[in-house]
């Protein structure tokens, strides 16, 4: 085995890393060559050169294509992270040179999108209109790997304890309860006191099975001596949730602020049904020890400011008289 430190520091070039990523993506010498605008012999020769540097077999060649070995998978992860840092630095320098303020890539869960991330981005753009913001909606299972390899700068969502790790830095911002929403014209949306038994046999659009909110929802049905609903669509997408609530008349299980947002837009209506469960807080996840760009630091400040204002509004709602629900009186 070669001197790995020397290979990683001195011998590997960007073109080598790009080739490794292409081979991992396409798993075929010919398709990787086409993607890189090279000949297949040139790609094969470069791969042999890289493997000679390491003194290791990084890919297994066969008539079916190429597959990374355990060594190859490790080097591919390194290549992905280095290239992500390279592209981020390139974009940041280009933005500064053009008079812009940089670029930030954010991964977000639905729980944080409409009432935390959206106003925070608006605040950032008001202060620095040339800052480019890329937002990718999804769940922890898909977005955390992208955060780890540097394709995302930060993650905003519910801090599920099962995904805690020493390489991740988490910051809780506020607690966020759940609510049940339905089409505004659904009979149960207008009911004064809907019952859990009336919901059990209805269609639902719910968070993925791994989410703590999904587990707690099923426990609520069991608590009422009911089997959980079986007519389910699992989605972590805001758009899909709205679509199935509107078109399929499904019940949606969403964060309270998301429910308020849907109600304000006339897209759904919150059921007058308490959801007494405890869930992890909404917060931020970044990579521990990773250098933050100025755009990332500014975005984090905006998120914290919006979260602080939201906490104040939540306290004001709690301190209001409880004789009549503001939401109910405005709707009925």
118 plus 198 within the same structural domain: no
Q: What is the CATH number of the domain that holds 33?
A: 1.10.10.10
150 plus 288 within the same structural domain: yes
182 plus 271 within the same structural domain: yes
pLDDT band at 2 (very low <50, low <70, confident <90, very high): low
Q: Let me know if residue 95 belongs to a domain.
A: no
254 plus 266 within the same structural domain: yes
* Number of domains into which the chain is organized: 3
Domain that includes residue 132, residue range: 100-175+281-319
Other beta carbons within 10 angstroms of residue 44's beta carbon come to 17
Q: Let me know if residue 311 belongs to a domain.
A: yes
pLDDT of residue 86: 83
Query: Does residue 209 have a pLDDT over 50?
Result: yes
pTM: 0.68
User: In the beta sheet, which residues pair with residue 155?
Assistant: 107, 285
pLDDT of residue 332: 38
pLDDT of residue 8: 75
Which of 82, 110, 125 terminates a domain? The answer is 82
pLDDT of residue 20: 94
Do residues 135 and 108 touch, judged by C-beta distance below 8 A? yes
pLDDT of residue 95: 66
Which 3 state secondary structure label does DSSP give 43?
helix
Cα–Cα distance measured from residue 166 to residue 287, given in angstroms and rounded to the nearest whole number: 9
Q: What is the DSSP letter of 117?
A: I
Query: Does residue 67 have a pLDDT over 90?
Result: yes
């Amino acid at each position: 085995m070669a001197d790995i430190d020397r290979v990683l520091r001195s011998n590997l070039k960007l073109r080598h890393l790009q080739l490794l990523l292409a081979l991992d993506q396409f798993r075929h010498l010919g398709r990787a060559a086409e993607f890189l605008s090279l000949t297949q012999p040139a790609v094969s020769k470069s791969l042999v050169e890289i493997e000679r540097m390491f003194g290791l077999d990084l890919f297994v060649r066969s008539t079916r294509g190429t597959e990374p070995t355990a060594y190859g998978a490790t080097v591919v992860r390194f290549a992905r992270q280095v290239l992500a840092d390279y592209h981020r630095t390139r974009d940041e320098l280009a933005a500064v040179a053009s008079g812009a303020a940089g670029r930030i890539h954010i991964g977000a869960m639905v729980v944080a999108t409409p009432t935390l991330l959206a106003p925070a981005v608006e605040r950032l753009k008001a202060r620095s209109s040339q800052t480019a913001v890329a937002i990718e909606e999804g769940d922890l299972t898909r977005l955390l790997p992208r955060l780890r390899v540097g394709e995302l700068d930060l993650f905003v969502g519910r801090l599920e304890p099962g995904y805690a790790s020493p390489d991740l830095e988490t910051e809780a911002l506020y607690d966020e309860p759940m609510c049940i929403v339905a089409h505004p014209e659904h009979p149960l949306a207008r009911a004064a006191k809907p019952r859990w038994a009336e919901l059990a046999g209805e269609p639902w659009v719910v968070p993925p099975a791994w989410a703590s909110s999904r587990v707690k929802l099923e426990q609520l049905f069991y608590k009422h001596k009911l089997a959980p609903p079986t007519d389910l669509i699992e989605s972590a997408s805001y758009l899909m949730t709205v679509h199935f609530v509107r078109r399929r008349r499904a019940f949606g299980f969403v964060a309270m602020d998301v429910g308020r947002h849907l109600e304000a837009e006339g897209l759904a209506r919150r059921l007058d049904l308490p959801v007494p469960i405890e869930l992890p807080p909404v917060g931020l996840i970044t990579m521990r020890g990773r250098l933050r760009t100025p755009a990332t630091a500014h975005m984090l400040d905006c998120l914290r400011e919006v979260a602080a204002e939201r906490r104040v509004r939540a306290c004001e709602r709690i301190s209001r008289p409880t004789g009549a629900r503001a939401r109910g009186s405005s709707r009925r």
